[in-house]
Amino acid sequence: MLPAIRFHSAEEAAAALALAPAAGVLLLSAPGAAAWPGAAVVAAMVARAAAAHPGAAYRAALDCGCAPGLALDALRQGWRLLLLDPAHPAFPAIHAAAEEAGAALWPRAPEALDLSRLDLRKPGGRAILARHLGAEMSEL
């Protein structure tokens, strides 16, 4: 399993990609981000971060909360890894739609470091991120 981080901005995602191990990092959107700021905005954040670090390996997951309609919309927009509350009655149908589209639907997020809790402008915040990702301190 890739080390996972929760990001809330392109800058946070870029910080994770800057320190991503060779195997990569899992970029998890903020909880319920499919509703706000929306799948397209989150995709743009990931694209901006990836453009700043073109060699970094990653997977990106969009958290759809308990909104199956937003999960279906995200599939149509090209998302290939989604999170959806498994308690929702539509979960099995969305799971089937994701499989048909060649995507994955997870019932819960893996343990992740939430970057909104760190000040990545400071060495201490970057050091916590580096430790989480297994990056060498010299990469800071």
Give me the CATH topology for the region 4-139. Answer: TIM Barrel (3.20.20)
Mean pLDDT of the chain: 96
Q: What is the pLDDT confidence band of residue 137, given thresholds at 50, 70 and 90?
A: low
Tell me the C-alpha distance between 138 and 1, whole Å.
24
pLDDT of residue 47: 98
State the Cα–Cα distance between residues 61 and 81, nearest whole angstrom.
5
Output the pLDDT for position 140. Answer: 46
Tell me the pTM.
0.95
In this predicted structure, the answer to whether residue 139 has a pLDDT above a threshold of 90 is no
Q: For residue range 77-135, list pLDDT tens digits in order.
A: 999 999 999 999 999 999 999 999 999 999 999 999 999 999 999 999 999 999 999 98
Per domain, the residue ranges of the chain are 4-139
Q: Which residues fall within 8 angstroms of residue 8, CB to CB, at 6 or more apart?
A: 30, 115, 116
Tell me what the mean pLDDT of segment 37-51 comes to.
98
